[in-house]
Amino acid sequence: MTVDPVLLIVIPLVAAFLVPITSIFMKGLAKWIPLLGLIGMAVVMALDFGDLYDGPVTSITGGFGPPWGISIIMTPFGGLLATGMIGVALFVMISEIDGKKRAHQTVYNTMVMMATTGAVGMVITGDIFNMFVFLEITAIAGVVLAAIPRDGHEKGLNWRGAAVYALVGGVASFLVLAGIALLYGATSTLNIYQIAERIEGVDTFVVGAAFLTMFIGLGIESELFPLNGWAPEVYRGSKWGTGSLFSGVIGKAGLLALLRISFVVLSPGLENGIVMDILLWVGAATYLFGEAAAFSSKDLYRVLGYSSIGVFGLLVASFSLGVADGIRGGTMLLLGHMLAKPILFSMMGFAGRKKKGDVPLSSLKGLIRSSPSAGIIMTIGILALIGMPPSPTFWGKYFLFSAAGSEGQWLLISILIIGTLFEAGYLGRMLFNIFDTRKERKADTLPLARGIMGALFVFFIFLIGFLPGPLEDIITFVIAELIDPLNYISWGSI
Amino acid sequence: MNLINEPATLLIILGTGAGTALLLWKVRWMAALMSIISSAIAAGVVIHTGLLGKIASNEIWEFEIFNDLSLTLGTNWFSYLFLASIAVLAPLVLIYSWEPMRTRQKDRPFYGLFMISLVGAVGVTMARDLLTLFLFWELMTWPVILLIGDGRPRSGKAMKLYFGFGMLSASGILGILSIVSWSEGGVAYTDAVNAMADGSTGIRIAMVLLGAMAFGTKAALAPFHIWAPAAYGHTEDPFTAFFSGGLSKTGIYGAFLVVDVFIGTTILISYGSVNGLTPIGFFIAITGAITALIGGIMAMMQDDAKKLLAYSSISQLGYIFVGLGVGGSTATAGALYHVLNHTAFKAVLFMGLGAVIYRTGEYRLSKLGGMIHVMPLTFWCFLVGIFAAAAIPITSGLASKWLIYEGALEKGVGILVPILFLASAAAFLYSFRILQGGFMGQLRDEFKDIKEAPITMLIPMIIIMIALIVVAFIPGLPMELISRAMADIGMEAPEYSLISLESGVGSYSGLVVMLAVVAGFITAVLMFFSRPLGRHIDLRDTFTAGEEPIPNMDKRYHYAWKFYAPYERFLRPYFNNWIGKGWAKVYKVSSQVARLHRSVMNGDMTGYIWLIFGAMVLVGMVLYRYGGWF
Amino acid sequence: MNGYEWIFYGGIMALMAVGIWAILSRRNLIKAIMGLVIIETAVNLLLVAVGYVNDRSAPIVNGDTGLGDSPVGEVVDPLPQALVLTAIVIGLATTALALVAAVGYFRSTGTLELKSFTYGRTDETEVKE
Whether the CB-CB separation of A6 and A61 falls below 8 Å is answered with yes
E strand residue ranges, A340-445 = none
Contacts of B362 (CB under 8 A, 6+ apart): B356, B368
Given a cut of 60, whether residue C65 has pLDDT beyond it is: no
Nearest Cα of chain C lies from the Cα of B95 at a distance, in angstroms, of: 37
Last residue of a domain, one of B534, B565, B593: B534
Q: What local confidence, expressed as pLDDT, does residue C77 receive?
A: 66
Please tell me whether residue B269 adopts helix, strand or coil conformation. Answer: helix
Give the burial string for B51-68 (b: 16+ CB within 10 Å, else e). Answer: eeeebeeeebbeeebeee
Domain count for chain A: 1
C-beta separation of C105 from A160 below 8 A: yes
Residues of C in contact with A142 (CB under 8 A): none
Q: What is the DSSP string of B168-215?
A: HHHHHHHHHHHHHHHHHS--BHHHHHHHHHHS-HHHHHHHHHHHIIII
Whether residue B184 is contained in a domain is answered as no
Compute the average pLDDT of residues B618-629.
80
Taking an 8 Å cut-off on Cβ atoms, the answer to whether B614 and A226 are in contact is: yes
Count Cα atoms within 13 angstroms, Cβ side, for A48: 27
**Per-residue DSSP letters for C53-98?**
-TTPPPSSS-S--SSSS--GGGPPPSHHHHHHHHHHHHHHHHHHHH
pLDDT, chain A, mean: 84
Q: Is B367 within the bounds of a domain?
A: yes
Min CA distance, C69 vs chain A (Å)? Answer: 23
Instruction: Tell me: do B327 and B443 sit in the same domain.
Output: yes
pLDDT band at residue C129 using 50, 70 and 90 as cut-offs:
very low
> What integer pLDDT is reported at residue B56 of this predicted model?
66
Indicate whether B332 belongs to any domain. Answer: yes
The alpha-helical segments, DSSP class H, found in A240-361 are 240-245, 251-259, 274-296, 300-319, 324-351
Q: Which chains touch C (3 or more CB pairs under 8 A)?
A: A, B
Pairing outcome for strands B61-66 and B69-73: antiparallel
Whether residue B604 and residue C115 make contact (CB cut-off 8 A), yes or no, is yes
Gap from B599 CA to chain A (nearest CA, Å): 11
Chain B residues close to A164, C-beta within 8 Å? 605, 608
A positions 187-206 inside 8 Å of B (CB) = 204-205
Domain that holds residue A293: 7-492
Residue B123 belongs to some domain of the structure: no
Neighbours of A459 (CB within 10 A): 12
Chain A: residue whose CA lies nearest to C90: A136
For chain B, the domain total comes to 2
Residues of A in contact with C52 (CB under 8 A): none
Q: How far is B353 from chain A (nearest CA, A)?
A: 26
Asked if residues A174 and A136 have their Cβ atoms less than 8 Å apart, the reply is: no
Residues spanned by the domain of B292: 271-534
Mutate to test the interface with C, among B606, B610, B616 (most CBs of C within 10 A): B606
How far apart are the C-alpha atoms of B344 and B396, rounded to whole Å?
A: 10
Rounded CA gap, B383 and B356, in Å?
A: 13
* Alpha carbon separation from A226 to A15, B410, C30 (Å, rounded): 36, 60, 24
* pLDDT value of residue A3: 79
**Which chains, if any, share at least 3 CB pairs under 8 A with chain B?**
A, C
Beta-carbon-side half-sphere exposure of residue A74 (alpha carbons within 13 Å): 29
Alpha-carbon distance B488 to nearest alpha carbon in chain A (angstroms): 28
**Which chain A residue shows the shortest CA-CA distance from C37?**
A170
pLDDT at C66 over 70: no
Which residues of chain A are within 8 Å of residue C53 when distances are taken between CB atoms? 185
Spatial separation of the C-alpha atoms in residues B333 and A11, rounded to whole Å: 71
C119 touches chain B (CB under 8 A): yes
Q: Contact B385/B460 with Cβ under 8 angstroms? A: no
Domain boundary among B534, B557, B572: B534
Which one of B174, B601, B620 has the shortest CB-CB distance to A232?
Answer: B601
pLDDT-based confidence at residue B523 (cuts at 50, 70, 90): very high
A470 to chain C, minimum CA–CA distance in Å?
41
In contact, B45 and B5? CB cutoff 8 Å? no
Chain A residue nearest residue C123, CA to CA: A298
pTM, to two decimals? 0.87
Three-state DSSP at B24 gives: coil
Q: Which residue of C has its CA nearest to B612?
A: C24
Asked if B362 and B448 sit in the same domain, the reply is yes
Question: In this prediction, does ipTM exceed 0.90?
Answer: no
Cβ of C20 within 8 Å of Cβ of B587? The answer is no
Give, in degrees to the nearest 5, the angle at Cα B540 between B536 and B546.
Answer: 75
Chain C residue at shortest CA distance from B600 = C116
Query: Which of residues B515, B534, B553 is at a domain's end?
Result: B534
Whose CA is closest to A433, among A373, A345, A360, A339?
Answer: A360
C 7-66 residues with CB below 8 A of B? Answer: 20, 23-27, 29, 32
Q: What is the pLDDT along chain A (494 residues), one digit of tens a residue?
A: 677 888 888 888 898 888 888 888 887 787 888 888 889 888 988 888 888 888 788 877 766 666 667 788 888 888 889 999 999 999 988 888 877 777 778 888 888 889 999 999 999 888 888 889 899 899 989 988 888 888 766 666 678 888 888 888 888 888 898 888 888 888 877 888 888 888 887 888 888 888 888 888 888 888 888 888 788 888 887 888 888 998 889 989 999 998 888 888 887 777 767 888 888 899 999 998 888 888 888 888 888 888 999 999 999 999 888 888 888 889 999 999 999 999 998 888 888 777 777 778 888 888 888 888 888 898 889 988 888 878 888 888 888 888 888 877 888 888 888 888 888 888 888 888 887 777 777 777 888 888 888 899 999 998 888 888 788 888 888 888 888 888 888 887 76
Measured CA to CA, the distance from residue B219 to residue B336 in angstroms comes to 14
* Partner-chain contact B604 C25, CB within 8 Å: no
User: Which secondary structure element, helix H or strand E, spans residue B163, and what is its range?
Assistant: helix B155-184
**Residues 121-140 of chain A whose Cβ lies under 8 A from any Cβ of chain B:** none
Whether B239 is covered by a domain: the verdict is no
Output the CA torsion sign for A172, A177, A180, A181. Answer: negative
The Cα of B116 is separated from the nearest Cα of chain A by a number of Å equal to: 13
Residue from C97, C116, C119 to probe the interface with A (highest A Cβ count within 10 Å): C97
Strand, coil or helix: A152: coil
Looking at the predicted structure, is the pLDDT value of residue C63 above 60? no
Q: Is residue B411 part of a domain?
A: yes
Spell out which residues of chain C touch residue A68, defining contact as CB-CB under 8 Å.
59-60
- Taking only the tens place, the pLDDT of each residue in B305-348 is 888 888 999 998 998 998 888 878 888 888 888 899 899 888 89
Chains in contact with A via at least 3 Cβ–Cβ pairs below 8 Å: B, C
Contacts of A168 in chain B (CB under 8 A): 605, 608-609, 612
pLDDT in tens, B571-614: 888 777 788 888 888 888 888 888 777 777 766 777 788 888 88
Is the distance from CB of B288 to CB of B303 less than 8 angstroms? no
The model's pLDDT over B403-439, given as tens digits with 9 standing for 90+, comes to 888 888 877 766 788 888 888 888 888 888 888 888 8
Give the C-alpha separation, C52 to A98, whole Å.
57
Q: Is A425 on the interface with B (CB under 8 A)?
A: yes
Contacts of C50 in chain A (CB under 8 A): 181-182, 184-185
Residue A467 lies in a domain: yes
Show residues of chain C in contact with B161, CB under 8 Å: none
Nearest to B162 by CA among B146, B182, B150, B180: B146
Enumerate domains of chain C plus CATH numbers. Answer: 3-60+76-124 (1.10.287.3510)
Angstrom distance (rounded) from CA B36 to CA B38: 6
For residue B317, tell me if it sits in a domain.
yes
